Amino acid sequence: MAQARTAVDGSERSPVPNAEMIGSAHPDERLEVTVRVRSRAQTQLAQHIQSLTSAQTPPAPALSREDFAARFGADPADIRRVEEFAQQAGLTVVESSEARRSVVLSGTVAQLAAAFDVQLDLYAHPDGGSFRGRQGPVRIPADLQDVVEGVFGLDDRPQAMPRLRRLAGADAAAPVPSSFTPDTVAKLYDFPTDVTGAGECVAIIELGGGSRSSDLKAYFQQLGIPAPKVVSVLVDHAHNRPDGPDGADGEVMLDIEVVGAVAPGATIAVYFAPNTDQGFLDAVSNAVHDTTHRPSVISISWGGPEVTWTAAAMNAMDQAFQAAAAMGVSVFCASGDNGANDFPAGAQHQPGNHVDFPASSPHAIGCGGTRITVAGDRVTQEVVWNDDGHGATGGGYSTVFPRPDWQSTTVPNEGRGVPDVAGNASPVSGYVVRVDGRSAVIGGTSAVAPLWAGLTALINQKRGTAVGFIAPQLHSLIGTPALKDITDGDNDGFPAGAGWDPCTGAGRPDGDALARALSPPLSTAGG
Pairing of strands 165-166, 431-435: unpaired
Active-site residue (options: 277, 446, 485, 523): 446
Give yes or no for a contact between 5 and 140, defined as CB atoms under 8 angstroms apart.
yes
The span from the CA of 288 to the CA of 266, in Å, is 17
Determine the 3-state secondary structure of 438 from DSSP.
strand
The span from the CA of 266 to the CA of 26, in Å, is 45
Give yes or no for a contact between 81 and 147, defined as CB atoms under 8 angstroms apart.
yes
Active-site residue (options: 32, 215, 236, 255): 255
The number of beta carbons lying within 10 Å of the beta carbon of residue 193 is 11
Residue 366: closest CA among 323, 344, 397, 345: 397
Residue 105: closest CA among 137, 153, 144, 155: 153
Name residue 86's amino acid: A
Active-site residue, 446 included: yes
The span from the CA of 379 to the CA of 384, in Å, is 14
Name residue 74's amino acid: A
Give yes or no for a contact between 470 and 501, defined as CB atoms under 8 angstroms apart.
no
CA 197 to chain centre: 21
Active-site residue (options: 251, 290, 420, 501): 251
Give yes or no for a contact between 280 and 160, defined as CB atoms under 8 angstroms apart.
yes
Pairing of strands 102-108, 92-97: antiparallel
Name residue 493's amino acid: G
The four Cα atoms 376, 379, 381, 387 give a dihedral, to 10 degrees, of: 100
Active-site residue, 29 included: no
DSSP calls for 114-130: HHHT---EEEE-TTS-E
The span from the CA of 164 to the CA of 440, in Å, is 12
Backbone φ and ψ for 354, nearest 5 degrees, come out as: -140, 145
Active-site residue, 251 included: yes
The number of beta carbons lying within 10 Å of the beta carbon of residue 217 is 12
The number of beta carbons lying within 10 Å of the beta carbon of residue 15 is 12
Count of all residues that appear for the chain in the document: 527
The span from the CA of 481 to the CA of 490, in Å, is 23
The span from the CA of 299 to the CA of 200, in Å, is 13
The enclosing H or E element of 188 equals helix 182-188
So which residues are the catalytic ones?
Answer: 251, 255, 446
